[in-house]
Amino acid sequence: MQPFSIDSTINVSREFFVSLGAPGLVVLGFLEFFFFPLPPMFVVIPLAVAHPEMAVVYALSAATGSVIAGVVGFTIGRTGGRPVVTSRFPERRVDQAERYVDEHGFATVAFGAFAPIPEAHELLSIGSGAFGMRLRTYLGAAALGRGAKYFIVAGLGVALGRTARSLSEAEVYSVIGVVVVVVVLAYVSRDYWIPRPTW
């Protein structure tokens, strides 16, 4: 009997979801939000490499599953309030998330859904419900952030071909991280580049 290996289990899981194609990505996107250790991007990449003409479908599928899960998290937060958030995350992080959501609601959720921080999307989804964000605002922000993330990942698969399959998690997250920094800087400096009208 071979010893148990987390890496081998994840590899088997990845191949299983790859075999399911787009429907598997919807399911994986949903499961990853709650407990599944396999990021959907590592299924999006091999599928986009194998079928580049379907890359958009794969990106949309992963984003759809993730956003649906986020809505479930949002509902949990709206129903349970702040106590349900603090039961899952440290008080300090919850306070910080609440402050950001209050000050920059849409942008905070969009960046959290996009950023290469594993728990950010979960925290901000549940927190958005608990902190009183409107569902419509949450949906738009989560769809933008999650969609952008998986479109970039699918684009890597198409652009790099087989080379993309050998990218490590750190390398993929590095690419996403660079994009996050560029977007954040553009957002922060938006008033400099696009002056507000004086009338």
* CA distances to 6, 22, 79, 123, 154 from 72, in Å: 28, 21, 11, 12, 25
pLDDT for the residue numbered 196: 58
CB 139 within 8 A of CB 71: yes
For residue 1, give the 3-state DSSP assignment.
coil
Q: What percent of the chain has pLDDT over 70?
A: 87
d(CA 10, CA 7): 5
pLDDT digits (tens, 9 = 90+) for 145-172: 999 999 999 998 888 887 877 776 677 7
User: How high does pLDDT run on average in the chain?
Assistant: 85
CA–CA separation, 108 vs 1, rounded Å? 48
User: In 3-state terms, what secondary structure has residue 119?
Assistant: coil
Encode pLDDT of 89-146 as tens digits. 999 999 999 999 999 999 999 989 988 776 889 999 999 999 999 999 999 999 999 9
User: What would you report as the CA-atom Rg of the chain, rounded to the nearest whole angstrom?
Assistant: 18
pLDDT cut 90: percent of the chain above it: 55
Mean pLDDT, residues 4-18 taken together: 71
Is residue 84 pLDDT above 60, yes or no?
A: yes
Does 5 have pLDDT greater than 80? no
Residue 111's identity, in one-letter code, is F
Question: What pLDDT is stored for residue 93 in this prediction?
Answer: 92
Give the side-chain half-sphere CA count within 13 A for 191.
3
pLDDT of residue 24: 94
The model carries a pTM of 0.81
What are the residue ranges spanned by the domains of the chain?
A: 6-193
What residues contact residue 38 under an 8 Å CB cut-off, 6+ apart? 10, 13, 14, 17, 28, 32
Q: What pLDDT was estimated at residue 164?
A: 74
pLDDT bin (cut points 50, 70, 90) of residue 6 is: very low
Say how many Å lie between the first and final Cα of the chain, rounded: 75
pLDDT at site 8: 62
For 132: left if phi > 0, alpha if psi spans -120 to 50, otherwise beta; the answer is: left
Rounded mean pLDDT of 30-34?
A: 90
Could you give phi then psi for residue 147, rounded to 5 degrees? -60, -45
